[in-house]
Structure 1
Amino acid sequence: MTDARSRTASRARQQWMVVVVIATGLVVAITVLVAGAAAGYRLNMTASEPLGIWRIRPLKRPPAVGDLVFICPPETEAFSEARVRGYLRSGVCPTGDAPLIKMVIAIEGQRIEIGADVRIDGLRIPQTTIVPADGKGRPLHGDAGGIVPAGRVFLYSPFVASWDSRYFGSIPASGILGLAEEVVTYAP
């Protein structure tokens, strides 16, 4: 009888140790995530850019063509629909969304033409085909194009499934949190 009680007590101690180890691991993981977020690190889990850990670097000048940026989406009809469709993740932006990682491909004063693909000031931009539907078959509509207004940027991602300014148009540059820098990423 004593051996059975001893084995039961030993099993109970082992189970509690497992619970303590898991709880400790969760606390450590949450602490690392919170500290990383406070230091400007973000986890990208969308297909618009490589998956992994990214860092927000301060942008101490106006945005320029070619800048890869973290930007908060504005409160517009297009982004409201994007939330409903599940295109956006929850995050730290004023709208409650996670910042997007996109490349600035046009700034104020540049002319955007959107047809089967995108042209900026007459130059065709590679990998900008407008697709008629998203991955779930819901219709997508290209933006009307035009001149990028003052204080706005036109954004792009070369990934096929990316939802960018081809569809939602230019957005306020004031939403830029900083430059996007890859830390540890994986491109499938």
Structure 2
Amino acid sequence: MRANIHKPHWNRLHWPFITGLVVATAIGSAWATGWRVNMTPSEPMGIYRMMPLAADTLIRRGDLISFCPRVKLEPFMVHGSCPNGGAPFLKEVIGVPGDMVDVTAAGVTINGRMLPMSRPIAHPKDWPGLTLPVDFGETKLLPEQYWAYGSGLPKYSFDSRNWGVVGRADVLAVQRSSR
């Protein structure tokens, strides 16, 4: 009696393979042309079109920037391509060169105007035992320095309140403000 041997049906993988290849190509193309998906509440969730930062690009108040912060990788940060091992952040530029920024326990002021819900977060409720750095004090933003702020839901944002200024050299891309 002959054993019933089942031969693999590799042809069944033909369409799933093609579909996967098309999806991967579409995602790669979207990423390469500047499209980003934001799933965090620090900026409104959605799809953003970021433009690479050119040498002559002026970064303005209200622009969104994608950048690599110079902080250690925190447990809530997504792993990615930044030098610290994390993924680039997406934040609003709220302070530009020449602005005076003051961080106190009560919140952040830019040129004397208090930002809404800007009290620094040193001990996030969702991460017991975690202590975040807080950059207290006054800072006058120098040329090529910016203050990044999670304006979508600032009371939960990890931003310049925690690590200080963002240097132009750390900015990867920008989306112009519609304001």
What is the RMSD of the two structures over their aligned residues, measured on CA atoms? 2.7
Indicate yes or no: 2:139 matched with 1:150.
no
Out of 109, 122, 127, the residue aligned to residue 136 of structure 1 is 127
1:29 aligns with one of 19, 23, 31: 23
Between Structure 1 and Structure 2, which shows a larger proportion of helix residues? 1
Query: Aligned in 2, Cα 1:55/1:136: closer, same or farther, shift over 3 Å?
Result: same
Q: Is the 8 A contact 1:108 1:150 kept in 2?
A: yes
**CA offset at residue 176 of structure 1?**
2.1
User: Residue 168 in 1 paired to residue 158 in 2?
Assistant: no
Q: Helix, strand or coil for the counterpart of 2:28?
A: helix
Separation of aligned partners in 2, 1:48 and 1:61: 24
CA distance in 1, matches of 2:102, 2:84: 29
Q: 1:132 to 1:84 in 2, by over 3 A?
A: closer
Aligned residue runs from structure 1 range 22-101, under 5 A: 22-58=16-52, 60-74=56-70, 79-80=71-72, 83-91=73-81, 93=82, 95-101=84-90
1:80-111 alpha-carbon deviations (Å, 9 max, x no partner): 1xx142324313x4555432111111112221
Runs of at least 5 residues in structure 2 that lack an aligned partner in the other structure = none
Segments of 4+ moved more than 3 angstroms = 58-61, 93-97
| SS in structure 2 at match of 1:85 | coil
For residues 16 and 46 of structure 1, do their structure 2 counterparts lie closer, same or farther at Cα, with a shift above 3 Å needed?
Answer: farther
Whole-angstrom CA distance in 2 between matches of 1:141 and 1:72: 17
SS in 2 for 1:149: coil
Tell me, yes or no, if the aligned pair for 2:65 and 2:90 is still in contact at 8 Å. Answer: yes
Shift of 1:172: 0.4
Contact persistence 2:61–2:96 (CA under 8 A): yes
- State the identity %: 27
1:109 to 98, 112, 119: 98
In the superposition, the TM-score normalised over structure 1's length comes to 0.74
- For residue 154 of structure 1, give the secondary structure of its aligned residue in structure 2: strand
CA distance in 1, matches of 2:79, 2:95: 25
Question: 1:37-68 CA distances to partner (integer Å, 9 max, x unpaired)?
Answer: 11111232333223343211355532121112
| More divergent stretch after superposition (163-172 vs 42-51) | 42-51
Length, aligned pairs only: 165
Q: What SS class does the counterpart of residue 69 from structure 1 fall into?
A: strand
